[in-house]
Structure 1
Amino acid sequence: MSAFRQATATTLTRAMALSAVARPMISRAAFKAAAPQRCLATVADTVFPANKAAPKPVQVQHSTPYQFDSAAPKAVPAALKLKSGHVFTGTSFGAQNSTFGEAVFTTSLVGYPESMTDPSYKGQILVFTQPLIGNYGVPGQVKDEFGLLKYFESNKIQCQGIVVNDYATKYSHWTAVESLGEWCAREGIPAISGVDTRAIVHLLRDQGSTLAKLEVGDEVLENKEVVEFPNPNTRNLVAEASTKEVYELNPMGDVKIALIDCGVKENILRCLVARGAAVTVFPWNYDFNKVLDQYDGLFISNGPGDPRAAMPTVQNLATAFKNPAPKPIFGICMGNQLMGMAAGLDVYKLQFGNRGHNQPAINMQNGRCSITSQNHGYALVDSVLAPGKTMNGWEKYFVNANDGSNEGIRHTTKPFSSVQFHPEAKGGPQDTEYLFDDFLKLARAEKVKSSNKPFFVTEPLSKDVTKPIEVVA
């Protein structure tokens, strides 16, 4: 070693030694705080390994590193039984009850709290293709300045059950207040881990989404009886997911939007009110044509199940389309299907649906491709809307680049448009959030036109200026 390198090494060694002597010893107790702190902490799931009842969530939870309880009872068996006859066995980590539903899969890598609370998943057993689920826990029900939930898309879990390959018994995130297993157990939602989700997805892709039963208990392997699989799509899931009463958000907004709730996500409402809109939410079958003259625009939300169950909404839309003074109308997901049916198109059930945060949608107006968040099992039959062709003034708006299915329609002369994907994301990419700006721009233009005057009107000066102004010192 050269003299220079030896001198440098000696200097660094002495500096590190002095630093170690001068550095104060910091105990773990020094980090304990009386008030909640924004920090990372590894917390153990108290339900899955010990099979205990889930406690009520708390705002802040600190615990020691996870230790396996040798005295804990054995994990409870669970099985996913498909109507096709396939059975996948694993271990329960949620509620200790069984459920029926339509087995579907999502390719989302993150956002399981948002997906599980999305009303569009109502009646479905959700299979995650992402292998590790639960690693960042579940956040609390915190609300934003508009009174909307920040981390969930509704106030409860909407899916019937969940299926994962590897459930994380430790979670770590500064917003987390409980584990995924505790949340499922508290909400009565069964969950299964330790199954080959790749094999399940291959089955669902090849054979299509199928009815299933998620069974929990020691007798799942011995229970061989043939059961009748109820189909949730025969129910009016839109009516189940919709609000039962009218309510208003951001009443001081500068533009008034009537929103038809077919199972609306919280972030759709947030995207509207955060842009200054006053939003009035109506039930799915409300005849909005009676009050549409009081609003500057109409919004049709997402929702679960078969759109043909919501024919009253389709009929109301058909009436609104014929209005000689049409108001701007925009629809998302279920809203796209309902608007398409009102325009004269038909719908069909996709083989396995499009669910995830990585679906490419091509804008037929400019050829641009956006990566979108999606969650739907039905689509419009748009074969009559070939490129360059219209039907009663309607044309294709977006097309899925993977399977060619419809991703949106628009009217060529009237302010009507809709998309099949979710521009509000949550979770997922935000490539198409500009569509909310486009819709509200039309609504504000409609407000100016209907009122025949601008928002701000200057007050004319008085003509009586003969009397001098007296100034008092």
Structure 2
Amino acid sequence: MYRQQKPGFLALEDGTVYEGFSIGAEGERDGEVVFNTSLTGYQEILTDPSYRGQIVTMTYPMIGNVGVNLEDLESSHPRIAGFVVRENSRIHSNFRANGSLSDYLIKHNIVAISGIDTRALVRRIRDRGAQKGIISTIDSDRASLVEKARKSPGLIGRDLVREVMPGSANEWGSVLHPYSSLGGETHTEGNRVPHVVCLDFGMKWNIPRHLAHRGNRVTILPGTSSAQDVLNQNPDGVFLSNGPGDPEPLTYAIESIRELLGQKPVFGICLGHQLLSLAAGAKTFKLKFGHRGANQPVLNCLTGQVEITSQNHGFAVEEASLPECLEVTHRNLNDNTIAGVRHRKHNAFSVQYHPEASAGPHDSSYLFDQFQKSLNASIAGGTPTASTR
């Protein structure tokens, strides 16, 4: 059967070329080659806007065995540049599935290959760092592919947020699926429903689901919105979403967040965490190969507890640059990088991982409850407690 499949190639900027078989659309895409250690959750990975500009390699050897469905999407369509797996399951079986992984990739024009040694590829990325690359089913000239990989623009200095954020404001309506609902803090102050404004830099859909599930009204604004645009919505709190790429070129977002600090409670996730830190005066740097997977250990420095988290980022906050106004609240236990901060003066906090999960464990869903307490206190006109802040 493999002999009947069209060849596909992945070339890295260091000159390495892997040959496999096409399992997606025909074509050619460039991007940064990264890996994700999740055992499943590939559909959420495919549709996570944070992967814009990246060719994702799955470390688990067999992918596609549960097919795809319409309930586990994290955006309207796949956002990745390309997809690489060791073996694509030719049979899918799940009571919610309504199609195969290959059919889904072809439908959405995603170039993908299987049949390569993903262990060797991941070891190379781990040892040498994430690399620029190109995935192709239309060019078999190895020298040509390597040259194209080297000419790929990469991620540093690029504004990828503008490629994935919404074009206009909209109201969010759906809540968590019954399978993923774990209860949580809800609004209990008076009769007024809390209003959360989300600055969308490429937000996963499970984030507004969490916010709406707790009884909030959720308005989503493009990430380019100004502080005044946000305040014109009369929010009780502001959420800063995840998103793709390098945070430092996003000067418009950094300035808006800087103006919002101290005016409303603020909660940031992933790129939102990096932007909040930059707005407070910190700097960011590019990690060697990033943190991507659903089994990343994080220490809560305030409680001493360890959380197993879902992560997807290639940049982190530089500890040496951390201003006095920010306190470290969480640390990544794999490399001790900063995984969460809170502002010492203003009601603002953020984490460098995904408490909304999807896919991943629910250890960190308490952070949405923490934000909810801030919203309730904002409505009641009180001051959030030190533990909330």
Report the counterpart of residue 311 of structure 1 in structure 2: 251
| 1:56-455 pair list within 5 angstroms | 74-139=4-69, 141=70, 150-217=71-138, 219-220=140-141, 226-227=147-148, 228-233=150-155, 234-250=157-173, 254-292=193-231, 294-321=234-261, 323=262, 326-383=263-320, 391-449=323-381
Structure 1, residues 126-180: CA drift from partner, whole Å, max 9, x if none?
A: 00000000111111x3xxxxxxxx3110010110111111111111111111111
Amino acid of the structure 1 residue aligned with 2:6: V
CA, structure 1 residues 272+319, in 2 after alignment: closer, same or farther (shift >3 Å)?
same
Contact 1:76–1:218 (Cα < 8 Å) also in 2: no
Structure 1 stretch 301-310 or stretch 283-292: which is displaced more?
283-292
CA distance in 1, matches of 2:146, 2:344: 56
CA distance in 2, matches of 1:338, 1:264: 14
* RMSD (Å), alpha carbons: 2.0
CA distance in 1, matches of 2:173, 2:142: 53
Task: Give the structure with higher Rg (CA).
Answer: 1
CA distance in 1, matches of 2:58, 2:277: 30
Structure 1, residues 371-418: CA drift from partner, whole Å, max 9, x if none?
A: 100000000012355xxxxx3431101110110111011012421100
Amino acid of the structure 2 residue aligned with 1:404: N
Structure 1, residues 254-310: CA drift from partner, whole Å, max 9, x if none?
A: 100111000000000100001111011111110133542711000000000110121
Q: CA deviation at 1:221?
A: 5.7
Identity %: 39
CA, structure 1 residues 165+376, in 2 after alignment: closer, same or farther (shift >3 Å)?
same
TM-score using structure 2 length: 0.89
The number of residue pairs the alignment matches comes to 363
Report the counterpart of residue 181 of structure 2 in structure 1: none
Contact 1:253–1:278 (Cα < 8 Å) also in 2: no
CA distance in 1, matches of 2:173, 2:106: 35
Amino acid of the structure 2 residue aligned with 1:123: G
CA distance in 2, matches of 1:111, 1:225: 30
CA distance in 1, matches of 2:142, 2:326: 54
CA distance in 1, matches of 2:152, 2:326: 37
Structure 1, residues 171-199: CA drift from partner, whole Å, max 9, x if none?
A: 11111111111111111111111100000
TM-score using structure 1 length: 0.74
Structure 1, residues 300-338: CA drift from partner, whole Å, max 9, x if none?
A: 0000011012111101111122x4xx3110000000000
CA distance in 2, matches of 1:276, 1:334: 25
CA distance in 2, matches of 1:414, 1:222: 54
Q: Which runs of 5+ in 1 are unaligned?
A: 1-48, 51-72, 142-149, 386-390, 451-473
Contact 2:55–2:82 (Cα < 8 Å) also in 1: yes
Contact 1:408–1:418 (Cα < 8 Å) also in 2: yes
CA distance in 2, matches of 1:225, 1:395: 44
CA, structure 1 residues 289+224, in 2 after alignment: closer, same or farther (shift >3 Å)?
closer
Q: Which runs of 5+ in 2 are unaligned?
A: 175-190, 383-389
Structure 1, residues 114-135: CA drift from partner, whole Å, max 9, x if none?
A: 0110000011000000000011
Contact 1:238–1:309 (Cα < 8 Å) also in 2: no
Structure 1 stretch 230-239 or stretch 96-105: which is displaced more?
230-239
Give the number of the structure with larger relative contact order, counting CA–CA contacts within 8 Å between residues 6 or more apart: 2
Contact 2:17–2:142 (Cα < 8 Å) also in 1: no
Q: CA deviation at 1:224?
A: 6.7
Report the counterpart of residue 31 of structure 1 in structure 2: none
Amino acid of the structure 2 residue aligned with 1:440: Q
Secondary structure at the counterpart of residue 120 of structure 1: helix
Secondary structure at the counterpart of residue 170 of structure 1: coil
CA, structure 1 residues 212+276, in 2 after alignment: closer, same or farther (shift >3 Å)?
same
Superposed structure 1 runs of 4+ greater than 6 Å apart: none
